[in-house]
Structure 1
Amino acid sequence: MIILRGFALIIAACVAAMSPARAQDATTLKKEMVGQWELSTTERSKTCVVTLKGDAAGHGLKLELEPACKTALPFTKDIVAWSVKGLDIVRLQDATGEAVIDFTEVEAGIFEGLRQGEGVYILQDLAAARSMAKSMDQMIGDWAMVRGNGQPICGLTLTNTEAGPDNFQVFLKPKCDPVIAQFNPTQWRLERGQIILMSKAGETWQFEADDNAQWRRVPDTADPLIMLRQ
């Protein structure tokens, strides 16, 4: 989807060149970005509050980083300003205007950026990020995995014990269905509204919340797996 969107924007840019519409897009994004944002690793194990402002500052616009940023995310020590590049790139930049990290919007209000050799970072509205943190706290504890007919086939516990970058430990209870036991998840994370279970072999299962406050494995099947909070 991101590739298609980017391709469409390139075509539009070629047609419109430096048209007022393109300028308006950048101007609108600048206005929308003014405010408080959370810069974090993908699962918020390390976070930093960034306040983007609309005032000019050297090669870009002013921003403020909370004091804890440099400890949580060392690369932020080089960030002194921000700007919008092209149609939809939000740049956090150094004193010369060069990118420290570039972000593009991957979902409404959620921006994603990559630093080579380090990984992916997320920039999202501070209030929304804190709401997500509360949601993650609600995930911790005991769960039952059941079939679509309600038959329990496994118990598991999601913990907040770190098990690597942005992941946390998960433990299976005894007497699990062979399918679950063979998968044998050891880590989990909450990512973009999904519970992700991961095995030692690197296999992943994704679960999404449905309208009945259940978490169903996706893609859905005729005999679905469902996670229920205990």
Structure 2
Amino acid sequence: MIARRLLAYVVAACLAAIGAVAASLAAIGIAHAQDAASLKKQMPGQWELSTTERSKTCVVTLKADAAGQGFKLELEPSCKTALPFTKDIVAWSVRGLDIVRLQDATGEAVIDFTEVEAGIFEGLRQGEGVYILQDLAAARSMAKSMDQMIGDWSMVRRNGQPVCGLTLTNTEADADNFQVFLKPRCDATIAQFNPTQWRLERGQIILMSKSGEAWQFEADDNAQWRRVPDTADPLIMLRQ
């Protein structure tokens, strides 16, 4: 009798556990479906497809109208010249939970994007590099911000003592970056770093040396750009 009661208890416990797992899986499935549905509603509109530093850009208009295995889109005429791979893009779709796919006529991916920040998606093409898809208005606002970066800057320590001068230019150094020049009589640490390229990426000024070393600067509440991660004696960039 005790054995039967114990068996019945074990069976009941197992059924309850299975029910709980099934309910959890169902809830996850619903949440996933909602995520995909939300993304489909979020995407229609005008987007900028670009290289990471925006030296090559293309406006893509995603539409909510069905088109074969996805949804309709329009590419501005200059896209095929700026970004040749776009010639194969005929539609867009959402795959899985969070992948925005720009696809060819067969539904295969020309490039897949995942959201890395609100309204900013990244996609990788093997052998080419990373591309950015972001809201057109936000992208143009960023471009204006980048234009404001061009010119002379001063690097100072926390006490306000100048340690170096540099000039950010809009002259392309390569496909992703622009030229930067140090002025004479820089602090030894900065002179040794000797940045030759820069770009504006995700709200950060990135300075890079020939060896590939990179320093990141973020804007703070005082309209200054502080090197990150922060230190006890921070290095600050000030617009001249």
Report the TM-score, using the length of structure 1 for normalisation. 0.92
Determine which of 199, 219, 225 is the counterpart of 1:189.
Answer: 199
Q: 1:54 aligns to what?
A: 64
* Counterparts of residues 167-178 of structure 1 (less than 5 Å): 167-178=177-188
The Cα shift of 1:27 comes to 1.2
- The answer to whether residue 208 in structure 2 is matched with residue 205 in structure 1 is no
Instruction: Give structure 1 regions of 4+ aligned residues with deviation exceeding 6 angstroms.
Output: none
Q: 1:93 aligns to what?
A: 103
In the alignment of these two chains, the number of paired residues is 217
Give the greater-gyration-radius structure (CA): 2
Q: 2:52 aligns to what?
A: 42
Q: 1:226 aligns to what?
A: 236
- Contact 1:16/1:22 (8 A) holds in 2: no
- The answer to whether residue 78 in structure 2 is matched with residue 73 in structure 1 is no
Q: 2:19 aligns to what?
A: none
Percentage identity across paired residues of the two chains: 88
Determine which of 170, 175, 182 is the counterpart of 1:160.
Answer: 170
How many angstroms apart in 1 are the aligned matches of 2:230 and 2:117? 22
How many angstroms apart in 2 are the aligned matches of 1:176 and 1:43? 27
What secondary structure, in the 3-state scheme, does the structure 1 residue paired with 2:139 have? helix
How many angstroms apart in 2 are the aligned matches of 1:227 and 1:201? 22
How many angstroms apart in 2 are the aligned matches of 1:21 and 1:187? 44
How many angstroms apart in 2 are the aligned matches of 1:56 and 1:18? 27
How many angstroms apart in 1 are the aligned matches of 2:175 and 2:207? 14
What secondary structure, in the 3-state scheme, does the structure 2 residue paired with 1:67 have? coil
The Cα shift of 1:17 comes to 8.3
Report the TM-score, using the length of structure 2 for normalisation. 0.88
AA in 2 matched with 1:140: I
The Cα shift of 1:20 comes to 3.2
Structure 2: gaps of 5 or more residues: 1-23
Structure 1: gaps of 5 or more residues: 1-13
How many angstroms apart in 1 are the aligned matches of 2:28 and 2:100? 19
The Cα shift of 1:43 comes to 0.8
What are the superposed Cα offsets for residues 154-209 of structure 1, whole Å, 9 maximum, x if unpaired? 00000000000110000000111111111100000001000000011111100000
What's the RMSD between the two structures over aligned residues? Answer: 1.2
The Cα shift of 1:21 comes to 2.8
